[in-house]
Structure 1
Amino acid sequence: MAVTLDGKLVIAISSRALFDLDESNQIFEEKGEEEYTKFQIEHEDELLSCGVAFPLIKRLLALRDPKTKQNMVEIILISKNDPNTGLRVFNSIEQHCLTITRAAFTRGRSPYKYLKAFNADLFLSANPEDVKLALQNGYASATIFTGDYLKKSEKMDETMDEIRIAFDGDAVIFSDEAERINVEMGLEEFKKNEAEKSEIPLTPGPFKGFLTALNKLQDTYKHYDKRPIRTALVTARNAPAHKRAIKTLRAWGIGVDEAFFLGGLDKASILESFDPHIFFDDQHTYCLNASKVVPTGHVPSGVKNDE
């Protein structure tokens, strides 16, 4: 009988989201593929430092079904390296004791078309174009900010016993249908529209499926005292627009553990307190500020990202 990943949360991740590859990527950008290949081979036995998404991935890999003790998450390395230069990444995976055994190496080509083959619930990458292509083809995807937070991510509290994931609402969990009214007609029309349609669920956004998959994982632990996953909605909405967001999640039969309706306030302070392993937002400005205090993924979806 063929091996399948059915029933597991599947996350595809690029090597630059998992490890700090800024030095070698700079060589590729400035000197080309030949020098990059030479550098990676010469350093393939040197341990790569943790990237921004490393703490999240490490903790997800540790999740076990409380009854069967089987692992519940599959991480797939999706890399634009070729197998030759990708060996350094796999060597570091082994040295960091990560149970990642499956990979796709695509040598410079965008890997988005292989997400279907792995049935991926989420794609994390440091390459904005790859993320955009994946989103356009229906996959929850985010561009990892590899800047200010990188050093702090290596020092995340190893005693932390839960995984925390935070989401923006419009254009992330929900579609951008309401946000378009805000952009095109102004805040007051947005509030009026959301109050009038508070009983009408929003259409799903690109991360609705991923949040649903997380809810299924959480359900596995519902009869146990220890619940290792905690989610939060962190949105610029406030009253009265909060009602539609809450009732949409209720209509979908999914939920979040915490919700923050900030009415346009900067999200960084709340995020620093919630301290998620990752935060997803569609607006670049919010992402930029958030990335200084928590691991952050930009979701280039919706009206705020229209070119």
Structure 2
Amino acid sequence: MVSTVQNPDVRQKDVERAVVVAVTTSAVFDSAAGEDEVHGGGAALPLLQALQKVNERLLEKNPAESLLFDVMLITTNSQQQQQSSRIISSTRHYGLEVSRFCFSSEEDFTENLVKNNVQLFLSTDRNEALQASHRGVLSALLDQQTASCPAEQLRVLFCGDTVTQPATGPTPASRQAAQGFSAQLGEMRRKFDSFDSPLSIILLTSRGGRDSCGRALRTLRSRGVGVDEAYCLAGAPQGPIVSVLQPHFTLSDGFCETEE
């Protein structure tokens, strides 16, 4: 059984142009925290605030802008579904611009992602991310580090030579979805100046040297994606630099080949 509820507090986005991002409710809210009718904030709360900041800045530049993030919360936990009013109240409490709430079974949630033309699915559950990826929906895994990311700037990390999230190689459909999403992201980024942008795109290559990084840069540029920062680790561990960069999520679907 799938139920989708539109949020009457939010102006609905242009279905032809909006970039639909689905985030699991359990990643956004901590059902074990909070009080009364409001959940505590979860790991993905700064992420939603950063997505919203990009929208706000785009609309400041052009009130008629239609290329905006369209956020949907999806709930597959049956216990959370019984608290749907609390989820909606929590969204209102934090001032989150969520267009739709989807309540779905674990078996049917990927069907709903496809039905709603979701371009990016974000979850703290690796199995959910894998299921979505297998249906051709670009997916990324969130972790607790997301909770410390900035709320004023969306930071997206492209990992140019590894496949780490999800943990299996991309399907042709998910690769195509990744290319489409990166092109939309690049178009958004071009609407802002080099400095003081609410959206930052970062490239990281783990293996190889400057040639590997250069190939990854050229791949992104061929898709209209400009990069704000680029790092070539040449075999060094990712952990230290990633903790400093604080990306909200990492796209590592094998979108560019850097093998010799």
TM bucket, shorter chain? 0.7 to 0.9
Q: Which has the higher strand share?
A: 2
CA distance in 2, matches of 1:248, 1:156: 27
Aligned pairs for 1:1-307 (under 5 A) are: 4-21=14-31, 23=32, 45-62=36-53, 63-64=55-56, 65=59, 66-68=61-63, 72-81=68-77, 83-146=81-144, 149=145, 153=147, 161-170=152-161, 204=175, 207-222=178-193, 226-239=196-209, 240-281=211-252
Report how far residue 105 of structure 1 moved.
0.5
Aligned partner of residue 207 in structure 1, secondary structure: helix
Report how far residue 238 of structure 1 moved.
2.9
Report how far residue 280 of structure 1 moved.
4.2
What is the CA deviation profile of residues 28-53 of structure 1, one whole-angstrom value per residue up to 9, with x for unaligned ones? xxxxxxxxxxxxxxx98442222211
Asked if the contact 2:186–2:224 (Cα under 8 Å) also holds between the matched residues in 1, the reply is no
Report how far residue 12 of structure 1 moved.
0.3
Report how far residue 110 of structure 1 moved.
4.2
Report how far residue 114 of structure 1 moved.
1.2
Tell me how large the CA RMSD over aligned residues is. Answer: 3.3
Asked if the contact 1:172–1:208 (Cα under 8 Å) also holds between the matched residues in 2, the reply is no
Report how far residue 128 of structure 1 moved.
2.1
What is the CA deviation profile of residues 213-269 of structure 1, one whole-angstrom value per residue up to 9, with x for unaligned ones? 2111112225x8642111101221332333322222233332321111101211122
Q: 1:170 to 1:208 in 2, by over 3 A?
A: farther
Report how far residue 75 of structure 1 moved.
0.5
Asked if the contact 1:77–1:103 (Cα under 8 Å) also holds between the matched residues in 2, the reply is yes
Structure of higher RCO (CA pairs closer than 8 Å, 6+ residues apart): 2
Asked if the contact 2:153–2:199 (Cα under 8 Å) also holds between the matched residues in 1, the reply is yes
Q: Which has the higher helix share?
A: 1
Q: 1:6 to 1:226 in 2, by over 3 A?
A: farther
Asked if the contact 1:164–1:278 (Cα under 8 Å) also holds between the matched residues in 2, the reply is yes
CA distance in 1, matches of 2:218, 2:192: 24
Larger radius of gyration: 1
Of residues 5-14 and 107-116 in structure 1, the stretch that sits farther from structure 2 once superposed is: 107-116
Asked if the contact 1:44–1:88 (Cα under 8 Å) also holds between the matched residues in 2, the reply is no
Q: 1:250 to 1:143 in 2, by over 3 A?
A: closer
Q: 1:73 to 1:206 in 2, by over 3 A?
A: closer
CA distance in 1, matches of 2:245, 2:82: 40
CA distance in 1, matches of 2:129, 2:116: 16
Aligned partner of residue 227 in structure 1, secondary structure: coil
TM-score (norm 1): 0.64
Asked if the contact 1:170–1:205 (Cα under 8 Å) also holds between the matched residues in 2, the reply is no
Report how far residue 157 of structure 1 moved.
5.5
CA distance in 1, matches of 2:13, 2:246: 36
**How many percent identity over aligned positions?**
26
CA distance in 2, matches of 1:157, 1:76: 21
CA distance in 2, matches of 1:259, 1:122: 23
Matched to 2:104, the amino acid is T
CA distance in 1, matches of 2:13, 2:52: 18
CA distance in 1, matches of 2:137, 2:243: 28
Asked if the contact 1:135–1:206 (Cα under 8 Å) also holds between the matched residues in 2, the reply is no
Aligned partner of residue 231 in structure 1, secondary structure: strand
What is the CA deviation profile of residues 110-168 of structure 1, one whole-angstrom value per residue up to 9, with x for unaligned ones? 4111112222111011222221111011111122224xx37xx2x6566xx42212121
Matched to 1:67, the amino acid is N
Structure 1: 4+ residue segments shifted above 4 A: 155-158, 203-206
CA distance in 1, matches of 2:71, 2:185: 15
